[in-house]
Structure 1
């Protein structure tokens, strides 16, 4: 969501910024709609002023015994009332049209974001860890999971269709251990506040974070007026929607482990085997709400929190800065963390950490106010995976596999696994 005042004062810069994201020039359309609406509002104000004046004149005309003038004034007031109502209805329609257009536009990225079409144009920032070497040909996670008889796609499909999985025994516990470990790390060492959030939300929450109206096809809608959340970013960021926060309380830093639901619209044929792309999965999410001047540093901090999980698990990874063609709808800058998967012999995304500036805050009307002052400022919001549990499970399975198909348990997870060292068939 954007500030109309900014667009009025910087139409060329606005168009140039959105052109980098593949959006055709739109400032003139917005400003034309805005000018017509402001002209209508001026006309309505004038009509209301005349109506008030004429209403006062009716009593004077009657007091002077001028009944014809009084009747004419009454007719004028009645006509103005109808006209004003029509103008107010038109004003609401025009306001909705402008808002819908603004809601459909992606955020403006920072100048340092590389131009590009897709993930091939992302910029590598850093690499961590040493890729494991094997004396055998490493397998993919689904081969190992099925060999262990603890990862079942066929039975899950009987119940729910494709892109679901049933985990059992050691792998089910390993998945639970990963989620618990991540929460403990973020709350005990990184200072994030744990939150248990709803998994069903109304549409206004999804509008606030940018999933609606543009990406409705990616969501699962309930038979009520609710949607299943695609990420706890939605619920964590909306905690203070519509509120004015004391600036001295910022930043807020939240984390949550939640079930996430995505339709994966448009992903037909991609990652059809295994757990990479599921309709239902678990993720530990991080959200920060900050003062505008602190958001860039907060992004670096948040990314470091996500990296700390992989370092503790001793999983090799790299960090990339997303280009204009790959960055998310609401983001101004995004770092993707990609973990090394030996079975695929490639890096795969396991976390995205983004700063959205005031883009989401404007949509959900979330501000802050310095102590003792009247003026408010839109806060900045950030979000990041810390991490996607299913993809972390995949990474552990593939990086810790042994020749007989067993999986070694990472040292930091053993306390969560009852001291179990190896998951065997």
Structure 2
């Protein structure tokens, strides 16, 4: 009976020992001492040391290459050795084209191969380097098929070398699961270099020069010409756009409208030419009011200079001071009235007194386009001179060729011109037409 009791107690004690042993925490295997119960790397890991180290450029590339999880798995399995290039090697010494190639999303595999080729899955400290007399030691990296060769330089100063890069900071950061050596430059695998050369050669052969989307010219509702096409226009050629499309926006409530944007071709110094003809008006005498309106009351002098710079030619019919004095306050007080009056006195052609007189003598009556589109100014021959307008709103060519330089022509007149008012067409009522319906003979059912 005692034996049964003691036997049962022994069996019970044996099972109790097994249950207690299974409940105890198991010891960590070598290489797993840096993984916490949640599977995360602890703060004493070499991976954390890399992210917080002076090698900020390498740490940034590791994050961009999405290698953090891969390195966490590698640290969890075994010790690692990282060869970290200095920041200057990645910032200034690296080819900008090669760096752009690595950072492109389509080249993520090349970037990952490059970075993993700097890490070997074993712990190699500076004291474990091969001797100078021995051959180079080969180590397989985490990169696919990539190998690093460790050696020492010959001479008085023995330097540690990995491939052809010198170790500048041996054992820079040491942790229980690995260590980091600082190297002088980036190690580029041959496969990554070949990928870069292949992309570069294809780009130089078959790449298309990137161009922006076509732009619509709001003035003409047509596609804008490229800079090369604009440059192909010979100097002195007449502008392609009509002058109405090249003008600044119409006058608003502001004292003077701002000039429009300048054109791409400035073969002529329009501002200097406009300034010259305004000075000529002042020195000629009797046209001070006209010059004052162009310069002070409006911004027409600036706009005329821009148009001449873009290749347009102008003929100005300048009323003298006596004619300008007849303008009433009501005619000048309306918003934009001075601009509209002056626009009607500017012809987008180059005409002299001789050319206009020959035209009216030959054709009788000639109508010239003005900047006050679509109004035209009529000219005819009268009393051996040129008469503009008709009726009370007419003016004679009084001072011919005040200024002529081949781009701007100024002709003095003795009156202020206004467009002819459109006559209302009155339709006469047509008389009623009596329609005679003839009756047809015969019977209808």
Please give the range of the TM-score, normalised by the shorter of the 2 chains: under 0.3
Q: Which has the higher contact order (CA 8 A, sep 6+)?
A: 1
| Structure whose alpha-carbon radius of gyration is higher | 2
TM-score by length of 2: 0.22
TM-score (norm 1): 0.23
